Structure formats: structure tokens, C-alpha cells
Amino acid sequence: MTLIKSISGIRGTIGGAVEENLTPIDAVKFASAYGTWIKQQRNKENYRVVVGRDARISGEMIQNLVMNTLVGLGIHVIDLGLSTTPTVEIAVPMEHADGGIILTASHNPKQWNALKLLNSDGEFLNGEEGQKILEIAESNDMTFAEVDDLGKITKNQAYIDMHIDEVLALPLVNAEAIDKANFKVVVDGVNSTGGIAIPLLLDRLGVHTEKLYCEPTGHFPHNPEPLKEHLTDLSEAVKKEGADLGIVVDPDVDRLAFMDENGEMFGEEYTLVACADYVLSKTPGNTVSNMSSTRALRDVTEKHGGTYEASAVGEVNVVSLMKKNNAVIGGEGNGGIIYPESHYGRDALVGIALFLSLLAEKKMSVSELKASYPLYFMSKKKIQLTPELDVDGLLKAMEEKYSHERLTTIDGVKIDFDNSWVHLRKSNTEPIIRIYTEAPSQSEADTLADRIIGEIKHIANI
């Protein structure tokens, strides 16, 4: 069992020993540190924090602990209940709140949960802010409110509908064309809050929707990471229903993947490529994704006369570079769409609306759309870490081994070859080294990944 404290929040498995897992004591301690940090930002009379959660089984318990900890600090809480990460992100500025907390472990299995922390703009904290909260948590330098100054909890369960209103109001969302296209879609909500939000959005867009695992019970019917090997039921349902496409999201609805009319994956990497193609065709400009994302985004951006830049992995890093480069769209290759016209956060609802607008205007099938893009294939593998492994030493050794190639070391080690690349980095959220590769064919990508894993294991003597 595991507890991971990082600048992006605290993430761990439920149950077990304090400081080794995400126990009630750890949740209270970290919420206390965040609330203390919130109060340090500005000296004011009333502080407000928005809190929402995905549907995982431990969510209600953790949310009650977190909310009442904030109440104990004298902070008022806006309780969104079952919600999505992007919904909480847009709620923070709409509520003029001082911050927000999303209780979700994203794509991790059901035994995991986490506190994701937002600033007053509804964006993830940067490294300096996250480090400060870790320091407060370790120092126990927290002072709670006296009895007459306790905060209050106010429930507001209208924000998913308000989020959908905001998406439909975006100028590039062509709701009329989507309605006329008469799409039939199968949605896999992995029994979390995507099962609430996505069908509501599609209904507003006039899309005929077949629901698969859309009951928000928190009992995930398959591994919740939206990868091909986990989505055989969706593939079968798309073919059985004769649907135009399948849609799948992760438990907190910030990752988005599509399936074509044949039950084949569109490719989560190409979610951003397609949405960017649509946005750039209407509003030319620059794009940003992280270093582990496909080269196809660069190709599409340059086709539209824009400039592509790659950031370190992590949403906050992508957002920072997007702001610096005035990117009109960006995101991450795991199906995360960041569209500044809406907000600076990965948002599956925005991605669905943009993708369907593109599909409706192009009047082509999903498989035909995929075939229109530069074709790259990725392999995403990992090596489980053990305490005795010197990860930094391993990465340094690989950097030296490939010093004659084009290297980028702002986030692990990325090695660019002429027709392929490999990116090695230690995960911020799991005790693993991630190995991502991309090449002109799947066999080449897999072979490159396996070769690199073999070289790492040889260096580490494992």
C-alpha cells in the first residue's frame, strides 16, 4: 500500500497505517495544510473553497473529512458532491472562491484516492505553492478557528449543468451541426461521474446515447485508465449498436478517448490532435503538449501555420507554457484537452463538443477522420520501482549512453531519433518509471520500448 506526497497533491491507497497510506489522519493533515496556505494568501474576513469528488467508494468519507477540516479552520465550503475535475475548476472562479479541492485518484484503481488542489483561478498549484503546503503539513504549524468563527458548508449540485451551459456557449461548438448529424454514441462512464455528465451533455447536443457503466457507484467494471486493453466491452457495444462512435472517460472526466464505428480505438493521443485541427482551422495559432505526446500535434499545428512547443509532463507545466506562448489549444497525449477559451484545465466535456463539431462539419466517419492525420504509433510501458533503485542515476546513465542523439532533460530524459523518440521519466503519481516511445509502426515502437527497458535493467542489474 502506498502514500505519495508531491507538489501536485497527496495520493494514496485507503486503509492501513498512518503516513504509509491515505488514512483519515493523513487526509485531515493535508487538508489542514492546504486551508492554512489558503489563509496565508490574503488577509480577509471570509474564505471560500469549492470541494467536489468522483464516485469512488472512499470519496464520501474523504470528502466529509476534508470539508469539516476546512470548516474547523474557519473556511466556508461549497460542496458540489459528485462532480468532475473540470467542473470544480470552472466553479472556483464562478464562486469567487479562494481555491478548490477535487477528491479523485484519476485513472488509478478503486483502492486509491487523492486530494487535487486548485488556486483561486481554478487551476492546479505550481511547484512552489505545492512545496509550501508540504512544508506546512510537516511542520504542523496550523491554527484552527474558535467556536464562533467556524466555517459553514453550502451544497450546490447545479454545477454540472452550469458546466454544460458553458461548453455549449463556446463559439466554436457547432451544436446545430451536431444535432443535424444525428449521431449515435455509446458512452462508457466507468461507473463514475462521467456517467452523469457526459450523457447530459450529449442529450443537450441532440445525440442519441447508449449508456455503458454510467451508474456512479464507484465499482469500476474494468481498469479505469481508458486504454484499448480495458475497453473490450465498449468495442463490442459500439459494433452491436451500430454506433457512429464510442466515448470513454476516466473517473474524474479530465481524460477522453474515442472509438471508431468499427470498435477500434481512435487513439487517445489523437483526441488532442483532432480537437486542435478543428480549433486551428477556425482560430489559427500555437499549440502546446507535453514531451510524452505524439508528433502528430506538431504536424497539424504547422499545417495551419502555427508553432508547436513541448512542455515537461504535468498539467501545470502545459498550462504555464500555453500562457507563455499564447496557445489557442493544448493538452496532454493521454486524452487531456485544454482549451483556454473555456478554462485552463483538461476537460473531456469541452473535448467531446469540439470533436463532434469537427465530425459533423467534415461529414466523415471516425475511421476516415483518423486516416486523414499523420500516422504515428506509441508504446507506453513502465518499470516498477523498488527502494534500492537509484532512479536519478539510471536516467543519468541513459543520458550519457545516448549523448550523441538529440536530448531533452527538463523532465527525465527524452531521446529524439530521426523517425522515433523515447521518453523516460519517474512518475509523479505512482512508484514507477514510465517509458514512452513513438515510431512509424506499432512493432517499431514496441521494439524500441523493450530495447530501452532491457538497457535500463542491465544498468540497474535487475
Catalytic residue set: 106
Nearest of 330, 370, 337, 369 to residue 351 by alpha carbon: 337
Sheet (strand 245-249) strand order: 208-212, 184-188, 245-249, 256-259
Closest CA to 338 of 366, 317, 357, 359: 317
Helix 348-362 vs helix 159-168: crossing angle, to nearest 10 = 30
d(CA 88, CA 49): 10
